[in-house]
């Protein structure tokens, strides 16, 4: 995002969000995003099993800078999730709990 681009998310850039170390370390791309219905939390994951010790808290603004394609999900509603099969692939959206296995054809 550039300085003249308006922030597209309803939540401010400094909102704390969850991700995992292997994404921040560049070892895995963001392939699954959830916007939790119960508390409004955002999670940026790789679609693989997550252990509690893998979790990291960063700001929503940092995640948007880290992966600008996440801007496309700014309107993801509470209780929504989105996934893709690879970093350059389009996002597919769903509602409720994401299934245990996501594929490029849908949940």
- Structural domain includes residue 95: no
Contact present, 82 and 31 (Cβ < 8 Å)? no
Number of domains in the chain: 1
Q: What is the pLDDT of residue 98?
A: 83
- Structural domain includes residue 7: no
CA–CA distance, 15 with 24 (Å, rounded to integer): 17
- How open is the CA angle 64-66-70, to the nearest 5 degrees? 40
Partner residues linked to 44 by β-bridges: 33
- Over residues 3-16, the pLDDT tens digits come to 557 999 999 999 99
- Over residues 78-87, the pLDDT tens digits come to 999 999 999 9
Q: What is the pLDDT of residue 97?
A: 82
Provide the domain limits for residue 67.
16-83
- Over residues 29-76, the pLDDT tens digits come to 999 999 999 999 999 999 999 999 999 999 999 999 999 999 999 999
């Amino acid at each position: 995002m550039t300085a003249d681009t308006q922030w597209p998310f309803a939540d401010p850039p400094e909102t704390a969000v969850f991700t995992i170390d292997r994404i921040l370390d560049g070892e895995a791309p963001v392939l699954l995003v959830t916007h939790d219905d119960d508390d409004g939390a955002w999670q940026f994951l790789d679609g693989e099993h997550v252990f509690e010790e893998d979790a990291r808290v960063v700001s929503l603004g940092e995640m948007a800078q880290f992966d600008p394609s996440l801007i496309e999900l700014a309107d993801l509603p509470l209780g929504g999730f989105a996934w893709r099969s690879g970093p350059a692939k389009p996002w597919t959206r769903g509602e409720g709990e994401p299934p245990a296995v996501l594929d490029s054809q849908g949940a």
